[in-house]
A and B are shown apart, each in its own frame.
Chain A
């Protein structure tokens, strides 16, 4: 029972990590790429680490895995936000469908 729950969590997280990697390759702009990475990769890491903590059972290692989970869930969006704010303040251009429509 716990093994099947762990498998469902790990493979769901693997799907989200795959989505974030595809977004990092395919999207046209820095802002859209960080949009793909800040949310989808965080959710994928949370699901994979949670599934492995469920698989490990009740032990000190699982507690440390939950500690990593909390740290990734707090740190990854914060780091993406800091990078995005640095890009916005140094006048990085946004992508738009019309050429030169979104000049700041």
Chain B
């Protein structure tokens, strides 16, 4: 079961290349923030899976809670900052 979770974690880490690609050459700033959001969600899943792999889930789940809260607050604050910053109609 631990080996299977290691495979799942490696697959999610491979999928994290997609938001990295979008963050590197997204056409607009909103695409980059969207990539940050997907990368944060993947980081939550990776932290929980690493907790199950190492058998220390009681420690890693608190880190995952902190990552979830920071991800949400960060994206909402950046969206509020970027509002009405584009070209005027």
Interface residues in chain A, defined as those with a beta carbon under 8 Å from any beta carbon in chain B: 3, 7, 10-11, 14, 17-18, 20-22, 24-25, 30, 33-34, 37, 41, 45, 48-49, 52, 55-56, 60-61, 64-65, 67-68, 71-72, 75-76, 78-80, 82-83, 85-87, 89-92, 104
What's the dominant secondary structure at chain B's contact region? helix
Looking at the assembled complex, report how far the CB atom of B85 sits from the nearest CB atom of chain A, in whole angstroms.
6
Interface residues in chain B, defined as those with a beta carbon under 8 Å from any beta carbon in chain A: 1, 4, 8, 11-12, 15, 18-19, 21-22, 27-28, 30-31, 33-35, 37-38, 41-42, 44-45, 48-49, 52, 57-58, 61-62, 64-65, 68-69, 71-72, 75-76, 78-80, 82-87, 89
Q: Establish whether residues A14 and B12, one from each chain, have CB atoms under 8 Å apart when the complex forms.
A: yes
Q: Which residues of B contact A68 (CB under 8 A)?
A: 44, 48, 61, 64-65, 68
Question: What total of A-B pairs shows CB separation below 8 Å?
Answer: 133
Q: Given A86-B80, A86-B83, A92-B28, are A10 and B44 also a contact pair (CB < 8 Å)?
A: no
Q: Establish whether residues A61 and B57, one from each chain, have CB atoms under 8 Å apart when the complex forms.
A: yes
Inter-chain pairs besides A21-B15, A48-B45, A56-B52, 10 sampled, C-beta below 8 Å: A30-B27, A30-B28, A33-B22, A60-B58, A67-B65, A80-B34, A82-B75, A83-B34, A85-B83, A89-B84
Q: Given A87-B30, A92-B28, are A75 and B71 also a contact pair (CB < 8 Å)?
A: yes
